[in-house]
Amino acid sequence: MKLLRPAIILIGLLAIWQVVVSLSGAPPYILPGPWAVAQAWSQRPELFLHHGTITMAEILLGLIFGLGLGVTSALIMAYFRPARQWLMPVLVVSQAVPVFALAPVLVLWVGYGMASKVVMATLIIYFPVTAAFHDGLRRTEPGWLELARTMNGSRWAILRHVRIPAALPALGSGLRVATAVAPIGAIVGEWVGSSSGLGYLMLHANARMQIDVMFAALATLSLLAVTLYFSVDSAVRHAIKWQPDSHSNEP
Amino acid sequence: MTNFRTFFTCLLLIAITMIGQPAQAAEKMTVLLDWFVNPDHAPLIIAREKGYFAAAGLDVELTAPADPNDPPKLVAAGKADIAVSYQPQLHVQVEAGLPLVRIGTLVATPLNSLVVLKDGPIKTIADLKGKKVGYSIGGFEDAVLGKMLEGAGLSLKDVTLINVNFSLSPSIISGQVDAVIGAFRNFELNQMDIVGKPGRAFYPEEQGVPSYDELILIANKARLNDSRLPRFLSAVEKATQYLVNHPQESWKLFASAYKDLDDELNKRAWAATLPRFALRPAALDKGRYERFAVFLKEQKLIKSIPALDTYAIELP
Amino acid sequence: MNETTVTPPIPIGLSVRHARLAWHEQVLFDGLDLELKAGQWTCLLGPSGVGKSMLLRLILGLDGSQENSETINCSDGLQLNGRVAFMAQQDFLFPWLNVLDNVLLGSRIRNAVGNRDKAMQLLAATGLADVSEAMPDTLSGGMRQRAALARTLMEDRPVVLMDEPFSALDVISRIKLQELAAELLNCRTVLLVTHDPLEALRLGHSIHVMTGRPATLGAAIVPDKLPPRPVDDSGVLEHQGELLRQLAEAAP
């Protein structure tokens, strides 16, 4: 039953897509219909799987580095006041500067290999994770902090035993947001210059007027992104089992 | 007194309306360029600046695309009248079902070239073995590269191809790739020279690739009877003549129309492109197009060769 | 809820002199003196907003007040720091720890190994032995506050400060918990802040009424008989009427 709803949504979206194509009379080299795209996929599934694996690897590595860097930065900022004053503007800039602007510079500097895509994905993930976790660390329930202080906890002990566990739900939220935007970083990196990956495949197919292949690559990317999101969401919920979910009693 | 005032007011109103309307309404035309405005588009710019379009009763709007892949699609979808495109791509686009027809030529020679750093380790094409080559248009440029490598006894498997998405000069200058294919000899070479990292070019047409028109003008197949098209082409021809006869004045016209392009790079590119413009824009060399189609089929870029007059014509 | 095997430490008295607190230019109290007799329950009774919780927090050293004009002396001459435990109105159990780990929170915070046996004894004493592995969100309000009491006891400090610890509970749970606390905190020096005269009369060896702005402490009221006093005790009921009148008059 749980799978039925997403399946219905998917079929509904496909139907709307087909209707839009039929009604607007859009030619296949601008907007192919879902059937044409499905055919393009089934003709060469290994192509999409190959490039999909590469892009997925870039996203996952970006998530790991982004998470690591973000958690570390948030902890440093929460613990050392001067660190917060110096790092916060950097953090904001990292989010404000559009990834598109940074990408070419980054690629020229780091090269056209996987590294530049991983760096791009990391950059895009860094802000949501850091901001969310730092916020969580700062906004700990005062009652818990006071209790720990009356128990003579050191500043470090309070960080470790009170602030960090209390901030995990916030980190979870940040991680969810980051997972949703991570694919953007990897794809933009590939668009700037690459020799493999779904973004590369989209560019290539577009230039050769194989718009159905381009859309099939896009569909593969969407599927990967959605799967990744729900996996991370499930992992977060499992890790933070104690976080009361206000909807847990609904069917 | 009142009669005089009324008469005078009427006269004034008529005068105003007449000034507002041109003597004969010029017909609008949308022309999509292939890339940002650059010296390759000289005939079009001159035709506009010297009033040749206006004299032909045309109000031509030249637009640079956001995505270089869009112009052919937009013309095929009927959203623009003419696009500047590339002959090699036309063959591929037609096979993909786009209803496009070549109606004129802008640049009658290949501009595409394989570029390496002049002082770099690559001295001959054979030196590319095991090296990285950047390209920008998937499909065509690697086919050209494949043919050029053939002549040196190599194949595409002997090099690593990297799609650098139009940042060709930066990638070769920074050393991230060892060579680039798809660099325009009139533009990228000058660009590299100016930043102090001169390049050396290998020309495809000298390495076994049949000659072709780099920049062509395409229109929608269903609109070939549009009377604006022949008038457009004759204005382009006039402009090309002016270019050839008055190279200095034409550069000044271009520079004053696009002040931000009045720099060393564009000046050099202008001079380098001048000998390559089609002196007879409307004329079509059928044999040349047929031979190139055969080449593309050999390179497996297209599966079949349709009748030439279905995608390339000379307008009457 | 039988005998506890936690032996209380030697009781110490506490004296607070010249306590002063100003908040946003309002002087809450100034020159306040309070005496906590060793091993006894002192109840601080007053209307809400008078500053009794603030006085408690002042003694605890929370809120980092700038003017440390107050002096806090222990009867044995040693520092108060590290010898006082705190129980608030909310249980503040950590939702990510089970009941047992919550009771052992003190040693966790101090990076020491916790005495699990002692914790289990305290849980048994507070009637929570069956739920030691449960997560706090599965417990009722009364059970959570009992767990907080067990945690406070685990700290094994000679002085215990409590800020309206039972006011969030329903009447029956409140009465039961009052008796439990009185039994388990026997022979410790307790300062209980409350707004409920009945609670103060049931549990306090001496009661101070705090009223006014700036607030002052009334003289100690020492009811007959030892706490915990039964709810239907005549003395308790008589005094309750008196105290209620006092509080009502003091309210603005």
Model confidence band, residue B16 (pLDDT cutoffs 50, 70, 90): low
Phi and psi at residue C15, in whole multiples of 5°? Answer: -125, 130
In our burial notation (b when 16+ CB lie closer than 10 A, e otherwise), range B148-185 reads: bbbebebeeeebebbbbbbbbbbbbbeebbbbbbbbbb
Residues of A with CB under 8 A from a CB of B: 26-30, 104, 107-108, 111-112, 191-195, 200, 203-211
Model confidence band, residue B209 (pLDDT cutoffs 50, 70, 90): very high
Count of residues in chain B? 316
Only one residue has tokens 């009771």, namely C103
DSSP 8-class letter at C226:
P
Tell if the CB–CB gap between C84 and A150 is shorter than 8 Å. Answer: yes
pLDDT above 50: residue A73: yes
More confident residue, B177 or C219: B177
Averaged pLDDT, A10-27: 89
Quote the pLDDT of residue B256.
93
Quote the pLDDT of residue A251.
46
More confident residue, A166 or C32: A166
Quote the pLDDT of residue C2.
42
Tell if the CB–CB gap between A157 and C111 is shorter than 8 Å. Answer: yes
Torsion (CA) A89, A92, A94, A96 in degrees, nearest 10: -130
Picking from A141, A145, A146, A147 by the largest number of C CB atoms within 10 A of its own CB, the best residue to mutate is A147
Tokens found for residue A41: 């996929």
Q: Which domains does chain B have, with CATH numbers?
A: 27-109+212-310 (3.40.190.10), 125-206 (3.40.190.10)
| Inter-residue contact B242 to B253 (CB < 8 Å) | no
Count of residues in chain A? 251
- Helix, strand counts (H, E) of chain B: 12, 10
**DSSP per-residue codes, A87-112:** HHHHHHHHHHS-HHHHHHHHHHHH-S
- Region of residue C152 (left: phi > 0; alpha: psi -120 to 50; beta: else): alpha
Model confidence band, residue C232 (pLDDT cutoffs 50, 70, 90): confident
Model confidence band, residue B160 (pLDDT cutoffs 50, 70, 90): very high
Averaged pLDDT, A144-149: 93
Of C95, C108, C137, the CB nearest to A161: C108
Q: Of B148, B217, B220, nearest to B182 (Cα)? A: B148
Averaged pLDDT, A137-156: 92
Look at residue C49 and give its three-state secondary structure: coil
Of A191, A193, A203, the CB nearest to B138: A203
Averaged pLDDT, C174-188: 89
The CATH code of domain C14-83+159-250 reads 3.40.50.300
Q: Of A80, A42, A61, A25, nearest to A182 (Cα)? A: A61
Quote the pLDDT of residue B249.
94
pLDDT above 90: residue B124: yes
Chain A residues touching residue B138 (CB < 8 angstroms): 203-208
B163 touches chain A (CB under 8 A): yes
More confident residue, A216 or C6: A216
Q: Mean pLDDT across chain C, nearest whole number? A: 86
State how far the Cα of C113 lies from the Cα of B184, in Å rounded to an integer. Answer: 74
pLDDT digits 0-9 by tens, B22-58: 555 789 999 999 988 999 999 999 999 999 999 999 9
Chain C residues touching residue A148 (CB < 8 angstroms): 105, 109
Chain C residues touching residue A149 (CB < 8 angstroms): 62
| Inter-residue contact C105 to C97 (CB < 8 Å) | yes
Averaged pLDDT, C54-59: 88
**CATH superfamily of the domain spanning A32-239:** MetI-like (1.10.3720.10)
Only one residue has tokens 């300062």, namely C191
Model confidence band, residue A250 (pLDDT cutoffs 50, 70, 90): very low
Quote the pLDDT of residue B17.
57
Share of chain A above pLDDT 70, in %: 96
Averaged pLDDT, A152-160: 91
Of A26, A30, A192, the CB nearest to B165: A192
pLDDT above 70: residue C95: yes
Quote the pLDDT of residue C6.
58
State how far the Cα of B178 lies from the Cα of B156, in Å rounded to an integer. Answer: 15
CB proximity under 8 Å: B 233-292 to A: none
Lowest mean pLDDT segment, chosen from B73-87, C124-138, C233-247: C233-247
pLDDT above 80: residue C94: yes
pLDDT above 90: residue B106: yes
Model confidence band, residue C15 (pLDDT cutoffs 50, 70, 90): confident
Look at residue A10 and give its three-state secondary structure: helix
pLDDT above 70: residue B20: no
Strands (E), C1-40: 14-23, 26-36
pLDDT above 50: residue B189: yes
pLDDT above 80: residue A114: yes
Residue C197 CB contacts under 8 Å (≥ 6 apart), including other chains: C45, C239, C240, C243, C244, C247
Amino acid (1-letter code) at residue A60? L
Lowest mean pLDDT segment, chosen from A80-84, B71-75, B284-288: A80-84
Averaged pLDDT, B158-164: 90
Lowest mean pLDDT segment, chosen from B159-173, C1-15, C194-208: C1-15
Lowest mean pLDDT segment, chosen from A108-122, B4-18, B113-127, C109-123: B4-18
Model confidence band, residue C78 (pLDDT cutoffs 50, 70, 90): confident
Q: What pTM was estimated for this model as a whole?
A: 0.80
Q: Mean pLDDT across chain A, nearest whole number? A: 89
Amino acid (1-letter code) at residue B293? A
State how far the Cα of C80 lies from the Cα of B306, in Å rounded to an integer. Answer: 97
Side by side, the strands of the sheet bearing B27-32 are: B58-63, B27-32, B82-85, B215-220, B100-107
| Measured distance between the N- and C-terminal CA atoms of chain B, rounded to whole angstroms | 61
Model confidence band, residue A145 (pLDDT cutoffs 50, 70, 90): very high
State how far the Cα of B155 lies from the Cα of B157, in Å rounded to an integer. Answer: 5
Q: What is the ipTM of this complex?
A: 0.87
Alpha helix segments (H runs only) across A25-80: 34-43, 45-79
pLDDT above 50: residue A106: yes
Pairing of strands C159-163, C84-87: parallel
Model confidence band, residue A100 (pLDDT cutoffs 50, 70, 90): confident
